[in-house]
Structure 1
């Protein structure tokens, strides 16, 4: 390669991702081309992204927040276990007989919402012991 090309390549390696993005926009406007990834014959900005130094990693605080509230969902109630499950639902929720029956018959339905993981696991264990199918979301 010529010295001029080598100098341009070295300059490109020193660009930040933001600068590479600005360069792509300027090339598109100046030469009337559209930057597209891959394929032959087109300008490929991915070349610049690979040559540019990596951006610093995002701090751990910006990572997806850990889920702290869970919903316990009654997904299936076997017909022969309905009464036993209904009793557990009433005890867990404090609902009256009719409301608890409506909840059990409306499965899949949330039994408890926005509870801690430990509480969700306890509720799940109690209901599964009686034959219900439970999911925690």
Structure 2
């Protein structure tokens, strides 16, 4: 019996899932969680996933968009942040936009961004 019920639930259409969710909420006071009852092809599930991805993003890539007026200071800071040599750092600065550092946690990414902005560079966190 349970297997048949599970099979029926898996084969529900988006409209049927919505109707089921409404019945559970109104009749039994059960409020389903957001993603569990949404069909993978449903636009709402994609929107919920995008929103939660933006809200929960904790790892960023630091992208240098512009050097501002003080290119030398930016090269020095890139060298300090990345641990690369002077030539590699200069190459990154010369080829903007360029990824300065990958997979940085949110706090460090914000700190790096602030450092670059203090010397006039434009940074994007993705």
Please indicate the TM-score interval, normalised by the length of the shorter structure: 0.5 to 0.7
Structure 1 stretches (4+) deviating beyond 6 angstroms? none
| Alignment: residue pair count | 94
- Distance between the aligned counterparts of 2:16 and 2:86, measured in 1? 63
- In structure 2, do the counterparts of structure 1 residues 51 and 134 end up closer, same or farther at CA, with 3 Å as the change threshold? closer
- Residue 18 and residue 126 in structure 1: after superposition, are their counterparts in 2 closer, same or farther (change >3 A)? same
- Give the structure 1 partner of residue 33 of structure 2: 57
| 1:100 aligned to which of 86, 89, 112 | 89
Q: Taking structure 1 as reference, are residues 81 and 49 closer, same or farther at Cα in structure 2, changes over 3 Å only? A: same
C-alpha contact (below 8 Å) 1:103/1:109 kept by paired residues:
yes
1:83 aligns with 2:49: no
Q: Which runs of 5+ in 2 are unaligned?
A: 1-8, 23-31, 37-48
In structure 2, do the counterparts of structure 1 residues 115 and 50 end up closer, same or farther at CA, with 3 Å as the change threshold? closer
Verify: 1:71 aligned to 2:38, yes or no. no
Q: Which has the larger Rg?
A: 1
CA separation of 1:70 and 1:50: change in aligned 2, threshold 3 A: closer
Q: More helix per residue: 1 or 2?
A: 2
5+ residue gaps, structure 1, are 1-15, 22-45
**What is the aligned-residue RMSD (CA, Å)?**
3.0
Q: TM-score, normalised by structure 2?
A: 0.61
